[in-house]
Structures are given as structure tokens and as C-alpha cells.
């Protein structure tokens, strides 16, 4: 087994709250359309990214249920300033007012293995 050296980088997670409410009329985008928009924005900053949509909800003690829809975008290979600009672009495009950004330092390495070695 061959193991590469450890590589350190910072990963940013941008969370878009796409839940519709009475005060904010966010159009419902298909997941494909969301990915297309996010891809176009992230490619402008030359970072690698992954995105996933999370649909769910939660129940209040009084029995009411509220649906929740979020898009989580993980961005690598960009500066903190670029991550902020990506978040600002997405915030403006989806007219959200606010997005959440988290920052995490990660370390990874790769393994390679060949049959018969």
C-alpha cells in the first residue's frame, strides 16, 4: 500500500436556507437548476465544490410541522475572501438576505494499492 503525504486545506460550508415563508417568496427551483446555478457561481472562483440539498422539517411542541429546505455547498481551494464572495453571490441571486458559512481545517491523504504488489 502506498500512502501519499498529508495535505492540509480549509473547507468552507455555505448553507442556503431555501425554505419558503409568508414574508419571503423564494421561487421553487428544481434540484438540477440549483446545482447549475451553484456550479456557475463556484466555477468563477476556481474552487472545487460539492453540493447537496436537504429537505425535511421539524415538529413544534404544539403539534405544528414546519418544512425546511437547505442547500449545503462545500467549497475547497479558495480563500476566505473568495468563500465570502461565493456566499454573497448566492445570497443575492436567491434573494436570501442571510447565508451561513462555516470554516473547517481538514487534512487528507490518498492511498493506492495494486493487485499483485
User: Could you tell me the residue range of the domain that residue 78 belongs to?
Assistant: 12-106
The reply to whether 7 falls in a domain is no
Number of domains into which the chain is organized:
1
pLDDT single digits (tens) 59-95: 889 999 888 888 999 999 899 999 999 999 998 888 8
The reply to whether 117 falls in a domain is no
The predicted structure's pLDDT at residue 27: 58
Closest CA to 106 of 4, 5, 7: 7
87-93 long-range contacts (CB < 8 A, ≥24 apart) are 87/14, 89/41, 89/44, 90/14, 90/16, 90/37, 90/38, 90/41, 91/16, 93/37, 93/41
Q: Using CA atoms in the order 75, 67, 22, 101, what is the torsion angle rounded to 10 degrees?
A: -20
Taking 80 as the threshold, does the pLDDT of residue 41 lie above it? yes
* CATH number of the CATH domain containing 35: 3.30.70
The predicted structure's pLDDT at residue 32: 84
Average pLDDT over residues 7-24: 80
The predicted structure's pLDDT at residue 28: 65
**Composition of the chain by helix, strand, coil, percent to 5:** 25, 45, 35
Taking 70 as the threshold, does the pLDDT of residue 97 lie above it? yes
Taking 60 as the threshold, does the pLDDT of residue 14 lie above it? yes
The reply to whether 113 falls in a domain is no
pLDDT single digits (tens) 100-115: 999 999 888 888 776 7
Amino acid at each position: 500500500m502506498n500512502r501519499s503525504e498529508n495535505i492540509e486545506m480549509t473547507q468552507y460550508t455555505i448553507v442556503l436556507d431555501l425554505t419558503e415563508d409568508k414574508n419571503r417568496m423564494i421561487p421553487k427551483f428544481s434540484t438540477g437548476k440549483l446545482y447549475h446555478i451553484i456550479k456557475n457561481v463556484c466555477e468563477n472562483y476556481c474552487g472545487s465544490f460539492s453540493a447537496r440539498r436537504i429537505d425535511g422539517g421539524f415538529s413544534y411542541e404544539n403539534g405544528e410541522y414546519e418544512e425546511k429546505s437547505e442547500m449545503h455547498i462545500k467549497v475547497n481551494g479558495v480563500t476566505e475572501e473568495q468563500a465570502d464572495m461565493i456566499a454573497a453571490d448566492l445570497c443575492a441571486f436567491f434573494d436570501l438576505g442571510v447565508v451561513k458559512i462555516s470554516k473547517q481545517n481538514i487534512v487528507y491523504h490518498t492511498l493506492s494499492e495494486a493487485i499483485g504488489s
